[in-house]
Structure 1
Amino acid sequence: MSIAELLSNIFLPLSLAIIMLGMGMTLTPIDFTRLVKYPKAVLIGLINQLVLLPLIGFSLAIAFNLSPIMAVGLIILATCPGGPTSNLITQVCKGNIALSVTLTAITSFVSIVTIPFILAFALNYFGTDEATTIKLPIFDTIIQIMGITVIPISIGMLIRKYKIEFALRMKKPMRIASTVIFILVFIAVILANFDILTTAMREVGLVTLLLNIITMGLGYLTARLFKLKLKNIISITVESGIQNGTLAFVIATSLLHNVEMGIPTGAYAIWMFITGGILMWQLGKRPEVDSE
């Protein structure tokens, strides 16, 4: 097993699971019932993620006249849900973690249905020679979501419920540990995939940067337009711009058997780690604020 495979198949999922455990220790059931009572933030986040993001991806692919392979690679990325990394960034930025986790979970399951249809259209529209029938490994995807998010968060919430003093005491150390893990993963991913990332930045660096900035900006503006509280604005902003790159790579390389289609994801990973890191640096210093 290569270093890159070791990172993506073992270290990265394990690290994210640990991060999710720490997040679970900050959550209580009331965090989620509050989202049912105030669904506006959830609806805004879902529309940004499931509707506006793919539309922006299509628009940029057409505007930059990308080659069919790069265009479809960009659409693959734009159709993917937010990944666990968005939950980590939201936590460090002191956003609404429950909202972030809820959006990640819902979009992850809904995308099982939406991704095949959107990609089938993209493959046909951009005129690639790939087969237009795409089937996601539904069971594996569900297991991935549960293993990295639902199960560790549930364990963390149980710890919070039965060992509340321990959970509160570990809040700051876990946040620091999450930041350190984030930085280490970022450096490791760059070193392990340096050749691919160099090519990616040269071919689609600008368009992926625009995708990241536009989607984050749109998330921020729509949340502000509907007068959401700061914690929810942070969550929607992050969820709009941080995608599940791991899933995008799986679709490109394992389902469509085209490594080149994974190039936009490689470039986007650089930008989302940078912009996510900037948000963590700036917003992580802010005092805690009330959520909606």
Structure 2
Amino acid sequence: MEQNPLISIGLPIALIIIMAGIGLSLRPRDFLQVAHRPRGLVWGSVAQLVLMPAAAFALAWALSLPPLVAVGLVILAACPGGTSSNLITYLARGHLALSISLTVTASLVTIVSLPLLTNLALRGFVGEGQQVELPVLRTVAMLAVITVIPVAVGMLVRWRSPGVAARAERAVGLFGAMVLAALIVAIAVRIGDRLPELLLQAGPACVALNLLGIGLGLFATRGLGLSPVDALTVAVELGIKNGTLGLLVAMTLLDSPEMGVPSAVYGLLMYFFGVGLIWLGRRRFAA
């Protein structure tokens, strides 16, 4: 299938800008604040990097998803949070430093874990005979360029010009939403008549994955001694994912719009749940 230049070139560039937006909101002292209370960071990272992908495998098997959609669900689950999770945490009066630390930590580990989990899903759902595999070293290098370097550049801009960073951060958040909308349209065009069928297949799994992530944050954290604010923050981070990164892997590295459907569907649905989390946070933690 011929790759669309807007996807193969434009999507990585857009993601670089979005990841730089995370760096614009991050300061070195944010990590020090979280280090004094590391339980939220540890639990959120374990849930993000281990439990969410495991849940995606289980949901794909339980719901008998089509192979390519199943792989796409695992790709999505393996993605970290993004600028949207940080914004929703802020609006919900959560622990912003914890949210940013979780996003950055997961983004760094994802460089290695995402290609490994994707290939595991390809072998499990598509099969060895299909000769479909995500190149690990190429993916690691691409994710490093697209995630680590932009975050570092964003932090540098924040350090040198805080005023510029504050203005740019708001613009990047809007840009991210526009990119996601454009990608959803691109997927719809490439899939064509199969879109309604794939939406029906991916929708329930995406809702279940979102609710599970939120539940792991809000309820499973009670026995870990986390504060309600930290629990809400973990819930946002697990429920609001960087769907643009999932689309990058599916549509650029694997050239499969079908695998991109879960990220696109989730990218729409998560904002409805995000509004609910904002309402919950502002109600419980009124200023």
TM-score interval, normalised by the smaller of the two chains? 0.7 to 0.9
Q: Could you tell me whether the CA contact under 8 Å between 1:200 and 1:266 is conserved in 2? A: no
Q: Could you tell me whether the CA contact under 8 Å between 1:84 and 1:149 is conserved in 2? A: no
Among the aligned pairs, what percent are the same residue? 31
Q: Residue type of the partner of 2:81?
A: G
After superposition, residues 246-285 of structure 1 pair within 5 angstroms as 246-283=244-281
Aligned to 1:140: 142
SS class of match (1:228):
coil
1:131 equivalenced with 2:132 (yes/no): yes
Aligned to 1:100: 99
SS class of match (2:271):
helix
Counterparts of 1:119 and 1:15 in 2: how far apart (Å)?
22
Counterparts of 2:230 and 2:205 in 1: how far apart (Å)?
27
Aligned to 1:78: 77
After superposition, residues 168-247 of structure 1 pair within 5 angstroms as 195=189, 200-247=198-245
Call closer, same or farther: CA 1:212–1:7 in 2, change over 3 Å.
Answer: farther
Q: Could you tell me whether the CA contact under 8 Å between 2:92 and 2:277 is conserved in 1? A: yes
Counterparts of 1:86 and 1:46 in 2: how far apart (Å)?
14
Where in structure 2 are there 5+ consecutive unaligned residues? none
Alpha-carbon deviations, 1:210-258, whole Å to 9, x = none? 1111111112222233231233222211111122222211221222232
What is the root-mean-square deviation in Å for CA atoms of aligned residues? 3.4
Q: Residue type of the partner of 2:143?
A: T
Where in structure 1 are there 5+ consecutive unaligned residues? 161-165
Q: State the number of aligned residues.
A: 277
Q: Which moved more, 1:130-139 or 1:38-47?
A: 130-139
Counterparts of 2:108 and 2:168 in 1: how far apart (Å)?
28
Call closer, same or farther: CA 1:142–1:9 in 2, change over 3 Å.
Answer: closer
Call closer, same or farther: CA 1:203–1:223 in 2, change over 3 Å.
Answer: same
Counterparts of 1:222 and 1:49 in 2: how far apart (Å)?
13
Call closer, same or farther: CA 1:133–1:20 in 2, change over 3 Å.
Answer: closer
Q: Residue type of the partner of 2:255?
A: H
Call closer, same or farther: CA 1:7–1:97 in 2, change over 3 Å.
Answer: farther
Call closer, same or farther: CA 1:180–1:36 in 2, change over 3 Å.
Answer: same
Counterparts of 1:155 and 1:280 in 2: how far apart (Å)?
29
Q: Residue type of the partner of 1:126?
A: F
Alpha-carbon deviations, 1:158-191, whole Å to 9, x = none? 545xxxxx79xx98x9998787667666666656
Q: Could you tell me whether the CA contact under 8 Å between 2:22 and 2:100 is conserved in 1? A: no
Counterparts of 1:174 and 1:200 in 2: how far apart (Å)?
36
Alpha-carbon deviations, 1:37-90, whole Å to 9, x = none? 322111101111011101110111011011111111111111222223222222
Q: Could you tell me whether the CA contact under 8 Å between 1:200 and 1:267 is conserved in 2? A: no
Counterparts of 1:122 and 1:46 in 2: how far apart (Å)?
21
Q: Residue type of the partner of 2:91?
A: V
Call closer, same or farther: CA 1:139–1:122 in 2, change over 3 Å.
Answer: closer
Measured after TM superposition, the shift of residue 288 of structure 1 is: 6.8
